Amino acid sequence: MKTITASEANRNFSRMLRAVTHGESYTIVSRGRPVASIRPAGDETAYRKQAKSALLERINSQPVTGDRKWTREELYE
């Protein structure tokens, strides 16, 4: 995914759309902060699966902390 400024996106919008039709994705930043993403339509499912996979991998790699001496029933009392 490429990162471009809002002013670059405005000046090169047609060129950017052509690149998106060929599978390119863009993150648009304004004042250094991401404000939008442009990617091929229908790419949402693959993007969400990738994001979910990355999140689960990160969660599973972290050590367990805290005391786990409670039961499920105790949680709902």
CATH topology of domain 2-62: YefM-like fold (3.40.1620)
pLDDT at 7: 95
d(CA 53, CA 45): 12
- The string of pLDDT tens digits covering residues 19-70 is 999 989 999 999 999 999 998 887 677 778 889 999 999 999 998 787 777 8
Residue 43 tokens, joined: 């790419």
Residue 20 tokens, joined: 């998106």
pLDDT at 10: 95
